């Protein structure tokens, strides 16, 4: 397929795309000379050769420009020579070393030996700009000084499976995926993008993806300038690197970009006012008369003085990565803060040392500290969380049931007598039930003043009879300060396949507590077991995609209290499995996830006409204009910045599902 880009520049590529990554060649005609850029692969040769011959005879090609030695742009060179190509191969010396394995007959024009320029007979000039490690050590891009076209090689590449060769706004997302997978890191990308911002460019022509027209060029360059990613597995500098060898300004630019994602420009400018450091924003850059570690440490001293621990905490993950990768000492303020926290922790440790001897051991798997924390301070019984842990450790328990029971008169006793008498009443109930426990029964404390009995190796008839006997035993007992009754909720622990056991256990307990509540509402001494189905308790199914356990717990408990079932996934791959297995009414997802991010999840769902319509809400600590634009392009319903009010999220969920 041929596309004419200007009077003398042609784009050549395969007419049909079979993969997400295409390969593009370019042909430039200048009077009697033709320049061929990136000739392509073996698989594309027949179609590309035919298109070249359509434009100009092969003998007119005087130069072939090769930006790096990958086979997707070089492996067709021997075939072109068989068809009569006699040209100079314009490339960098490291690429030549690889191309020599093709045993080519053509001569080489090495860009470094020719001052990184090529001038044609017509005086038309091409300038070559080195782009090391993007993604090859000897990579470079080609700038046509006459047409003002940048032939960018792998830079500005993208993944796409449509035949539209001109980029639109949504191409930025494709560029992000491409660069995050094929480039080493944003540290290599950013200085090159800064140089491009000062150039007069009318068109960007990458080897893969789509060409970028004038109106989108500045936005595309700035997008890659601020893109933050890292793929290099080893440290860049050795242990003996000196401070003057470290590009502190470049690292502080990266830190400033992260600040911009978290806080407003006005707030950041206010923070650095009247300081020896200035930050400019278009593009992001850091200026100061300071240098080396003096600059590095002063930058974070200013941040701490104005933003406190919150700002240091928000940046610490990034600082740890930079420090580990480049062998840079962390800013001194982090070390001072760590020592302060260590001193505080030591004081706390001394305060709790004497408690260790008084903690009773539950079993070999539970530490003494955990044992104390997981017991009810009134009854000494293990609490609901320990009951959940027991079920998680014995998930294959046979024919098991949960019985949740509570004293119907508990509120009256607390009000009429005292809370102390109420506590004594609970202990009396615990004593009565504990003395009646048989084999395969365990007693725990439940929600509020309730108790939970786990009974295994039983059946419906036996467990109901057991519940009635315990209820009647309490009713007839005269040890209480006044006559009491107990209401009961019972569930059978169903056997079924589920992706996350703890999710199922949470569902069981939610179901159990709802049945106890129904029993209390029916009347004192009531038992609810088989007369209501679990489906009654849930209005809709929500999928929560997050890696932070605190957020998972808070959101799950809150929405279960509002009659929503919450499924969990820690990354997009788990999320897709949950969506395929269960009916999901709405998805709440963090953006920053391992393996793939939240944008990739939503993009995958949009490929299905069915899943694309599931309401989708983003939660993230980072929220800025660029992220909002990406979310809008993917038709995300709402975007909340953490921290947020749970009632606000509940309102968005209810409006989205309505």
Per residue in 299-327, pLDDT (tens digit) is 999 988 888 888 888 888 888 888 887 78
Q: How far apart are CA 382 and CA 371, in angstroms?
A: 8
Chain center to CA of 641? 15
Per residue in 460-475, pLDDT (tens digit) is 889 999 999 999 899 8
- At residue 129, the pLDDT reads 96
Residue 518 has pLDDT above 80, yes or no: yes
In the block, which residue shows the tokens 């035919």? 50
Q: How far apart are CA 152 and CA 156, in angstroms?
A: 7
Higher-pLDDT residue of 342 and 251 is 251
Other C-beta atoms lying within 10 Å of the C-beta of residue 562:
13
- At residue 316, the pLDDT reads 85
* Spatial CA neighbour of 201 closest among 219, 188, 213: 213
Residue 383 has pLDDT above 50, yes or no: yes
121 within 8 A of 33, measured Cβ to Cβ: yes
Chain center to CA of 117? 43
Per residue in 545-603, pLDDT (tens digit) is 998 888 888 998 899 888 888 999 988 989 998 888 888 899 999 998 877 889 999 99
Q: What is the dihedral of CA 128, 131, 132, 138, to 10 degrees?
A: -40
- At residue 583, the pLDDT reads 81
Q: How far apart are CA 653 and CA 615, in angstroms?
A: 8
Binned at pLDDT 50, 70 and 90, residue 240 comes out as very low
Higher-pLDDT residue of 160 and 216 is 216
Please tell me what DSSP assigns to residue 230.
Answer: B
Residue 632 has pLDDT above 60, yes or no: yes
Residue 241 has pLDDT above 50, yes or no: no
Coil, strand or helix at 462: helix
Q: Compute the mean pLDDT over every residue in the chain, rounded to the nearest whole number.
A: 86
Per residue in 156-193, pLDDT (tens digit) is 998 776 678 899 988 888 888 888 888 888 888 888 99
Binned at pLDDT 50, 70 and 90, residue 62 comes out as very high
Per residue in 147-163, pLDDT (tens digit) is 999 999 999 998 776 67
- At residue 236, the pLDDT reads 47
Q: How far apart are CA 365 and CA 61, in angstroms?
A: 75
Per residue in 39-55, pLDDT (tens digit) is 999 988 999 999 999 99
Chain center to CA of 642? 14
Angle between helices 625-633 and 171-182 (to 10 degrees): 110
Count how many Cα atoms sit within 13 Å of the Cα of residue 213 in the half-sphere of its side chain.
8
Higher-pLDDT residue of 595 and 218 is 218
Q: Tokens for 439, please give them.
A: 């084999």
80 within 8 A of 55, measured Cβ to Cβ: no
In the block, which residue shows the tokens 């009654």? 536
Residue 369 has pLDDT above 80, yes or no: no
According to DSSP, the β-strands at 527-528 and 540-545 are: unpaired
Beta strands in 92-166 (DSSP E): 108-110, 117-119, 125-130, 140-144, 149-153
Per residue in 11-42, pLDDT (tens digit) is 998 766 666 778 899 999 999 899 999 999 99
Binned at pLDDT 50, 70 and 90, residue 496 comes out as low
Per residue in 266-281, pLDDT (tens digit) is 999 999 998 999 999 8
According to DSSP, the β-strands at 212-213 and 140-144 are: unpaired
Q: How far apart are CA 60 and CA 120, in angstroms?
A: 13
Query: In this predicted structure, which of 98-102, 213-217, 369-373, 443-447 has the lowest mean pLDDT?
Result: 369-373
According to DSSP, the β-strands at 125-130 and 638-641 are: unpaired
Q: Tokens for 383, please give them.
A: 């609490």
Q: Phi, psi at residue 259, to the nearest 5°?
A: -60, -40
Residue 529 has pLDDT above 90, yes or no: no
Overall pTM > 0.75: no
Please tell me what DSSP assigns to residue 417.
Answer: T
Residue 239 has pLDDT above 60, yes or no: no
Q: How far apart are CA 584 and CA 614, in angstroms?
A: 8
Q: How far apart are CA 601 and CA 599, in angstroms?
A: 5
Helices (H), 27-123: 45-55, 71-74, 77-82, 93-99
- At residue 595, the pLDDT reads 74
């Amino acid at each position: 397929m041929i596309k004419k880009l200007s009077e003398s520049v042609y784009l050549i590529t395969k007419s049909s795309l079979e993969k997400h990554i295409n390969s593009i060649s370019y042909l430039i005609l200048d009077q009697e000379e033709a320049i061929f850029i990136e000739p392509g692969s073996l698989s594309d040769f027949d179609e590309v050769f035919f298109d070249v011959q359509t434009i100009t005879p092969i003998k007119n090609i005087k130069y072939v420009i090769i930006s790096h030695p990958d086979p997707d742009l070089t492996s067709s060179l021997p075939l072109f020579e068989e068809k009569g190509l006699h040209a100079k191969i314009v490339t960098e010396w490291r690429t030549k070393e690889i191309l020599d394995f093709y045993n080519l007959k053509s001569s080489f024009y090495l860009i470094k030996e020719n001052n990184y320029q090529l001038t044609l007979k017509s005086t038309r000039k091409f300038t070559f700009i080195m782009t090391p490690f993007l993604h090859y050590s000897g990579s470079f891009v080609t700038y046509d000084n006459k047409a003002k076209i940048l032939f960018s090689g792998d830079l500005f590449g993208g993944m796409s499976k449509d035949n539209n060769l001109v980029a639109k706004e949504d191409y930025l997302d494709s560029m992000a995926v491409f660069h995050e997978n094929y480039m080493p890191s944003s540290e290599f990308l950013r200085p090159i993008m800064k140089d491009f911002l000062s150039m007069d460019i009318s068109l960007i022509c990458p080897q893969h993806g789509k060409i970028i027209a004038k109106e989108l060029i500045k936005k595309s360059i700035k997008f890659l300038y601020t893109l933050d990613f890292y793929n290099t597995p080893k440290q860049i500098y050795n242990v003996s690197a000196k401070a003057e060898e470290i590009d502190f300004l470049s690292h502080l630019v990266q830190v400033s970009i992260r600040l911009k994602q978290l806080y407003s420009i006005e707030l950041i400018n206010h923070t650095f006012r009247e300081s020896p450091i200035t930050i400019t924003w278009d593009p992001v850059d850091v200026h100061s008369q300071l240098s080396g570690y003096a600059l590095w440490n002063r930058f974070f001293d200013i941040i701490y003085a104005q933003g406190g621990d919150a700002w240091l905490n928000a940046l610490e993950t990034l600082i740890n990565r930079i420090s580990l990768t480049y062998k840079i000492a962390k800013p001194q303020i982090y070390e001072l803060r760590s020592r302060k926290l260590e001193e505080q922790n030591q004081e706390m440790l001394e305060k709790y040392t004497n408690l260790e001897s008084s903690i009773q051991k539950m079993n070999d798997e539970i530490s003494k500290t955990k044992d104390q924390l997981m017991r009810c301070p009134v009854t000494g019984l293990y609490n609901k969380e320990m009951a959940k842990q027991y079920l998680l450790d014995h998930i294959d328990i046979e024919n098991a049931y949960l019985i949740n029971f509570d004293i119907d008169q508990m509120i009256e006793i607390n009000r009429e007598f005292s809370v102390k008498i109420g506590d004594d009443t609970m202990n009396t109930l615990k004593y009565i039930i504990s003395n009646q426990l048989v084999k395969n029964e365990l007693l725990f404390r439940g929600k509020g003043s309730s108790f939970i009995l786990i009974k295994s190796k039983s059946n419906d008839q036996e467990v109901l009879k057991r519940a009635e006997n315990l209820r009647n035993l309490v009713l007839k007992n005269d040890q209480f300060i006044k006559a009491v009754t107990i209401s009961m909720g019972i569930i059978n622990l169903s056997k079924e396949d589920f992706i996350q056991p703890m999710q199922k256990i949470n569902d069981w307990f939610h179901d159990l507590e709802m049945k106890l509540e129904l029993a209390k509402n029916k009347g004192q001494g009531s038992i609810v077991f088989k007369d209501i189905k679990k489906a009654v308790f849930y209005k809709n199914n929500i999928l929560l995609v997050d890696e932070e356990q605190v957020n998972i717990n808070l959101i799950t408990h809150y929405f279960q209290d509002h009659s929503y079932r919450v499924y969990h996934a820690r990354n997009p791959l788990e999320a897709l499995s949950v969506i395929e297995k269960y009916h999901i009414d709405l998805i709440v997802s963090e953006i920053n996830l391992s393996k793939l991010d939240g944008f990739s999840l939503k993009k995958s769902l949009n490929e299905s006409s069915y899943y694309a319509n599931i309401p989708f809400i983003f939660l993230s600590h980072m929220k800025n204009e660029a992220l909002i634009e990406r979310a809008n392009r993917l038709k995300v319903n709402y975007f909340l910045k953490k921290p947020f009010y749970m009632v606000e999220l509940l309102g968005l969920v209810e409006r989205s599902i309505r």
